[in-house]
Amino acid sequence: MGRGVGWGMNLLLYGAPGSGKGTQANMLRARFGIPHIATGDMLRAEIQAGTELGRKAQPILAAGQYVSDDIMIGIIRNRLRRPDCEPGFIIDGFPRTVPQANALDTLMVELRKRFDCVIYLKVEVDELLRRLSGRLVCPQCQRTFPPGTRACTADGSELAQREDDKPEAVRPRIEIYLEKTVPVLDHYRASGLVSEIDGRGTIEEISSQVLVAVNGRSSSSPRSGEVARSAGGTGTAGGAGKKTA
Ligand code: AP5
Ligand code: MG
């Protein structure tokens, strides 16, 4: 049967800070009309709104550290239960730790959903540093743009640098990713759902590869309950190398 078999298309974008998760998620959202669930964007919205969670999260994000698993799992539980997720969703920025990955497995079983594809955007550390130091963000809609962009192409707002793209936060973000988030990839490799995309290339070239991976996997992936039990991944070979993240 075709994509989703009535279960929608559920995608997970995995990669280091600056690997292009948000960029590719925007493309997928426009293409498939399903929500982009970005935990970093959700936290920044809380900070901007001055909520209690936002006040707690602000110094953590600014330092390049992770918000606690309990808080993040609660956020994702609430978000995936919303009706707009019924036709499918694109998760970006979660899970970032093995406990978060285990909680997401449980939640997917509860929701009777499964992932069609986990896209791993693999990019060298030098390139990550280059991209993060030059990135510009729209403070209104949170879309990201490469250096030199004058204004948001969606709403015309003046672009700004993200607080955690300042040099003092970028290194800690990559270090915590290597320590806590790289093991999450192994968690998904065991499911056979991981498609590894070489992040070298233009945004358009990467988008084409992402679409090929999504279309190739969306009709044949196992249900989420099978994720933890299955073994022998079919994703492209190669773990996180020394200089890639
Ligand atoms: P989050 O907002 O998720 O940040 P991140 O994971 O560090 O990733 P980024 O958003 O920086 O990068 P991206 O991969 O989206 O790249 P982008 O497409 O923008 O999280 C922020 C913080 O929130 C965390 O540090 C943590 O504190 C907290 N948090 C969030 N989730 C959490 C969780 N689950 N648990 C605990 N804490 C959590 O691209 C980057 C730049 O490169 C852009 O300028 C773009 O235009 C450019 N670019 C993209 N692709 C290409 C290409 N192919 N060639 C050239 N340039 C490119
Ligand atoms: Mg992002």
Distance 50 CA to ligand 2 centre (A): 21
Stretch 230-238: mean pLDDT, rounded? Answer: 31
Look at residue 228 and tell me whether its pLDDT is greater than 50. Answer: no
Report the alpha-carbon distance of residue 168 to residue 106 in Å, rounded: 36
Percent of the chain with pLDDT strictly greater than 90: 76
Look at residue 230 and tell me whether its pLDDT is greater than 90. Answer: no
Q: Is 145 helix (H, G, I), strand (E, B) or coil?
A: strand
Query: What pLDDT, on the 0 to 100 scale, is given for residue 219?
Result: 59
Beta strands in 16-68 (DSSP E): 36-38
Name the average pLDDT for the chain.
87
Does 181 sit in the ligand 1 pocket, CB within 6 Å? no
Look at residue 4 and tell me whether its pLDDT is greater than 50. Answer: no
Look at residue 152 and tell me whether its pLDDT is greater than 50. Answer: yes
Domain boundaries, given as residue ranges, for the chain: 9-34+87-218
Question: Could you tell me how far CA 243 lies from the centroid of its own chain?
Answer: 20
Ligand in nearest proximity to the CA of 23: 1
Using one digit for the tens of pLDDT, what is the confidence trace for 98-127?
999 999 999 999 999 999 999 999 999 999
Using one digit for the tens of pLDDT, what is the confidence trace for 31-79?
999 999 999 999 999 999 999 999 999 999 999 999 999 999 999 999 9
Look at residue 220 and tell me whether its pLDDT is greater than 60. Answer: no
Question: CA geometry: angle at 199 spanning 58 and 132, to 5°?
Answer: 30
Look at residue 233 and tell me whether its pLDDT is greater than 60. Answer: no
Does 209 sit in the ligand 1 pocket, CB within 6 Å? no
Report the alpha-carbon distance of residue 149 to residue 229 in Å, rounded: 46
The answer to whether the beta carbons of residues 85 and 204 sit under 8 Å apart is no
Quickly name the fold that domain 9-34+87-218 has.
Rossmann fold (3.40.50)
Query: What pLDDT, on the 0 to 100 scale, is given for residue 110?
Result: 97
The answer to whether the beta carbons of residues 217 and 195 sit under 8 Å apart is yes
The answer to whether the beta carbons of residues 117 and 221 sit under 8 Å apart is yes
When mean pLDDT is compared across 105-114, 153-162, 197-206, 223-232, the lowest value belongs to: 223-232
For residue 91, give the nearest of 62, 127, 115, 57 by alpha carbon: 115
Nearest Cα residue to atom 2 of ligand 1:
40
Does 23 sit in the ligand 1 pocket, CB within 6 Å? yes
Distance 226 CA to ligand 2 centre (A): 28
- Residues noted as catalytic: 21, 96, 135, 162, 173
pLDDT tier, 224 (very low <50, low <70, confident <90, very high otherwise): very low
